[in-house]
Structure 1
Amino acid sequence: MGDKVIEYKFDIHPKNLKKLHKDIWCDDLVPAVLMINKLKLEILLSYRGSHIRDFKKKSYHVVFRRPSTYCQAKEVHINAEYNDSSLLRNKLSLDFFAELGILSPRSRYISLKLNGKNQGIYLELESVDEFFLANRGLSKGAVFYAVNDDANFSLISDLDQGVKDSLIHGYETKCGVTQDEHYLQEFIIRINTIPRAAFEKEISKYLNVENYLKWLTGIVLTQNFDGFVHNYALYLNAETLQFEIIPWDFDATWGRDVDGRIMPPDYVRIQGFNTLTARILDVDTYRKQYQTFLFEVLKSQFTLEYLMPRIDETFQMIRPYVLSDPYLMNNISSFDKEPEVISQFIVNRANYLYQNLDQLD
């Protein structure tokens, strides 16, 4: 899950730091300097996230200015992971998806100092954008972030239960052109209007179905309740004109919810949620394919034997940084208990899914 923790040093002029503090909900970027070892980078940054901006330990959006890229990226996200007392769940999830063959952001742990003051340990996340695609040798295309519950693949809003004013209201266009947005709208319309008899054949013109079923396998196993209607990205391959789904923001997983509370192992049903998932699993061929994926991963990768050595290795790597983290050091006992919480979730979730595989017959 990670070899070592990298040290980042932010140097922000006091007036710009005051500007950040004045309105934590503002996305305006302020100039700063980032030192990584002896490398000096001019950057722009702001706070990031929705509800997490209220936390004492802030998360950051970093845009590289001079040079305009670093490590083949134009920006990164620096997450405090403050509601996850293990600091493991997001990285564990994204690595797990990558091992399932799903496009997934890379991540690594960093130790952060701000104007010489220790801010503790963070998780750096790769941005899903045109550089994400280029770094993987993928065809150029559009990327859409699902930013709220209206990214539910439905014509009806999850926010107000009425007909949506715009079918792309729940999305932020990360890269792409207006034509791509029109195609996304067409995709959502087709999800909801293709006749049942024609759905299997027609949906594959718009969607990489195998990718979606593998993603469904991963999200059901990790039990990310929110991830069915947001916390994902869509990549539109310009060559195939098929969408692929990419996981994002998976800290509310592996047995805890978005507020850090324990989730029962049967909280997310084996069929998952959202309109697209329901229509996909209504097709016998796709439902059987999903059942096969799920069974195979339950046997091979969603096991204590496969996961716990990785979890324990990462836990031991980051524990010294938690001990010196000014926001976390007084809660080290909770951190120390989390590998067992995750371990118990893996056992209980696997048992629930094995017992319910026949629902997919």
Structure 2
Amino acid sequence: MKKIILFAFVPLLLCLCSITALGFPWQTPKWAEAASSEAVGAAAALSYADEIDQTKIMTIEISVNDSDWQYLLDNATDKEYIQADVTINGTLIKNAGIRAKGNSSLSSIARDETTDRYSFKIKFDEYVDGQTWMGLDKLVLNGNYADATSMKEYLSYDIMRYIGVDAPLFAYADIRVNGKNWGFYLAIEDLDGSYKERAKNDDGELYKPDNDMGGGQPDNYGGQKEGESRRFAPVASDGTEKLPQAGAGNADKMPPTPPSGPVGEESETGRRNDGPGAGRGGMPNMAGNGVSLVYTDDNESSYSAIFDNAKTKTDTKDHQRVIAALKGLNEGKDLEKYVDVDATLRYFAAHTVVVNLDSYISNMGHNYLLYENDGRISMLPWDYNLAFGAFQSRNARDVVNFPIDTPVSGVSMDERPLLGKLLEVPEYLEKYHEYLQEIIEGYFANDKFEQKVDEVNTLISEHIKNDPSASYSYEEYQKAMVELKKFGTLRSQSIQGQLGGTIPSTTEGQKADPGKLVDASTVNLSAMGTQGGGAPNGQPTGGGIIPEGINQEALRSAMEIIQSAENGQLTEDQRTKLLDLGISDEQITQMLKMSQGSRATH
């Protein structure tokens, strides 16, 4: 009865609040205060939302046994929780769980003997039943891997929120471990139970589709649910030991099955890495077992990459709703019944702007949350440290001009139906264009993007300068910030041109008429950070010389071209051939240096 009364009075309450805000000397009546008490109580239970303020710097202090912390660092790829007391913005949470997180970034850092700058996940109820930090169940601490700007993920989520996507809360944070400064990170609300309660009124189900083809283990690899990998026995709220509790997901799952077919072969559609950023030497499509959201049949096992990675407790009925939605989506009929179209279009508009190829739109097919509510699916953003062209990108021109109407890389639009099927509908394509235009006008036009970067720089620059574990020097950060501004300006120009028809908006159109593309030769992508990360203390940075996934034939061809360069100088034709083989500008430079160095020693 109370809820009925509350819903009936909400419009009147809003009206009264509006009148008061305008300066009328009216008081909210007692009956209105009583009617709103339930809503206030619910908000208070999730008060962490006020603490994760993107305009402020959070403080996070981790108190942990020294040997336990060293154990975590030495065994980071095991993703095993250890016990720690965590103080966030002055609030102490005792006996929380903390572990390393990530996939390719995690394994890369584990192989790097010069750094222990892992990203972390804090699970507040890992050892104490029902424990939260002001209502939050899990908090992620991202180390901004491979991001010299330290802003890519921050800005990506900010753009998502600007256009109305239910992105996670985020804020920068100074991390201290046992009283010592550990590093400057980005704290992010995990897209799990608390997020669902805050952003979705606790309705629907959440999945994080992943095949774990990027190195390391996914959070729920092999059906291992959160809470089952820990170094110490958990305790109940009364301090007594309790048995491990099965967390989100489902029991008795097998490890994800790799996609079928020989590595490097073409997809069923005959497409293979032929879009911007795609020339990675035949990298296979890694989005099998449901990650691509392509409907195959009605068997739950065919979508193990979705259901094995459930973030909420789901059952067969939940799974069948998802399968029915995928079937309806792939048939392309009655899409409003199976897809939250507006939410999905907003997501893809923002996603297209920031050019994050380590995602659903590339052959990786991962790094997103699938949200299902009442039989309708949509996407939620996750993991943007490799946005702004840092992943699988050949050169700045391709990234700046990334096509808005075929925004995929290495795959066809048919292979990504949640995007492809929607953009096939003229009405939805027009709405998608409207959201792109809204982002350009509201976030980029009239120097807005440059001003935003300056605003964030004012907030974080001193913290970047004093970060003891930073992957990039402060000087590299400053240079990266300059390149980021240039990139944003040119990217918005290209999108505006594509929307206006002066620049081709598809991959094929851009191939046919490259002369109309925005000139991005002044942008140094590698200076902003690329996959492969940086090196501490100002050492040379950048990814590996050999691109991931390149086949031996392409590599041999590339080396022949490099070795044929006279005095280390490539002709335009030679450089174009290297780019077509999937070698980035940065890797070309490194291979030339390596070749010159080799000649000098002989």
TM-score category, normalised to shorter length:
0.7 to 0.9
Q: Distance in 1 between matches of 2:386 and 2:178?
A: 31
Distance 1:289 1:131, change over 3 A: same
| TM-superposed deviation, 1:103 | 0.6
Q: Secondary structure at the match of 2:460?
A: helix
The residue correspondences of 1:252-267 to structure 2 (distance < 5 A) are: 252-257=386-391, 264-267=399-402
Distance 1:329 1:204, change over 3 A: closer
Residues 266-301 of structure 1, C-alpha deviations (whole Å, 9 max, x = no match):
245532232221121112221222222222332232
The residue correspondences of 1:60-75 to structure 2 (distance < 5 A) are: 60-65=120-125, 68-75=131-138
Q: Secondary structure at the match of 1:72?
A: coil
Q: Distance in 1 between matches of 2:90 and 2:435?
A: 46
Q: Which residue of 2 aligns with 1:161?
A: none
Q: Distance in 1 between matches of 2:472 and 2:379?
A: 38
Q: Which residue of 2 aligns with 1:180?
A: 318
1:50 matched to 2:184? The reply is: no
Equivalent residue in structure 2 for 1:102, among 141, 154, 165: 165
Q: Which residue of 1 aligns with 2:302?
A: 166
Alignment length (residue pairs): 347
Which amino acid in structure 2 is aligned with residue 45 of structure 1?
I
Larger RCO (alpha carbons 8 Å, 6+ apart): 1
| TM-superposed deviation, 1:133 | 2.1
Distance 1:350 1:205, change over 3 A: same
Q: Which residue of 2 aligns with 1:212?
A: 344
| TM-superposed deviation, 1:304 | 5.2
Q: Secondary structure at the match of 2:447?
A: helix
Q: Distance in 1 between matches of 2:405 and 2:167?
A: 22
Q: Which residue of 1 aligns with 2:19?
A: none
1:145 matched to 2:197? The reply is: no
Q: Which residue of 1 aligns with 2:372?
A: 236
Q: Distance in 2 between matches of 1:252 and 1:304?
A: 26
Q: Which residue of 1 aligns with 2:87?
A: 35
Q: Is the 8 A contact 1:153 1:275 kept in 2?
A: yes
Q: Is the 8 A contact 2:62 2:87 kept in 1?
A: yes
| TM-superposed deviation, 1:155 | 4.6
Q: Secondary structure at the match of 2:468?
A: coil
Q: Which residue of 2 aligns with 1:334?
A: 476
1:286 matched to 2:428? The reply is: yes
Q: Distance in 2 between matches of 1:259 and 1:176?
A: 37
Distance 1:73 1:131, change over 3 A: same
TM-score by length of 1: 0.87
Q: Secondary structure at the match of 2:207?
A: strand
Which amino acid in structure 1 is aligned with residue 190 of structure 2?
S
| TM-superposed deviation, 1:85 | 0.8
Q: Is the 8 A contact 1:143 1:234 kept in 2?
A: yes
Q: Which residue of 2 aligns with 1:80?
A: 143
Q: Secondary structure at the match of 2:338?
A: coil
Q: Is the 8 A contact 1:9 1:35 kept in 2?
A: yes
1:92 matched to 2:155? The reply is: yes
Equivalent residue in structure 2 for 1:113, among 165, 170, 176: 176
Q: Which moved more, 1:312-321 or 1:326-335?
A: 326-335
Q: Which moved more, 1:183-192 or 1:122-131?
A: 183-192
Residues 129-178 of structure 1, C-alpha deviations (whole Å, 9 max, x = no match):
2211222352521011133434212258xxxxxxx962241561001411
Equivalent residue in structure 2 for 1:15, among 67, 91, 94: 67
Distance 1:183 1:308, change over 3 A: same
Q: Which moved more, 1:347-356 or 1:75-84?
A: 347-356
Equivalent residue in structure 2 for 1:355, among 486, 491, 497: 497
| TM-superposed deviation, 1:224 | 1.1
Distance 1:3 1:135, change over 3 A: same
Identity of matched residues, %: 19
Distance 1:250 1:260, change over 3 A: farther
Structure 1: 4+ residue segments shifted above 4 A: 258-263
| TM-superposed deviation, 1:33 | 1.0
Q: Is the 8 A contact 1:72 1:135 kept in 2?
A: no
| TM-superposed deviation, 1:219 | 0.7
Q: Which has the larger radius of gyration?
A: 2
The residue correspondences of 1:184-195 to structure 2 (distance < 5 A) are: 184-192=322-330, 194=331
Which amino acid in structure 1 is aligned with residue 400 of structure 2?
P
Equivalent residue in structure 2 for 1:319, among 450, 461, 465: 461
Q: Which moved more, 1:68-77 or 1:288-297?
A: 288-297
Distance 1:259 1:69, change over 3 A: farther
TM-score by length of 2: 0.54
| TM-superposed deviation, 1:98 | 0.8
Q: Distance in 2 between matches of 1:275 and 1:59?
A: 32
Higher strand fraction: Structure 1 or Structure 2? 1
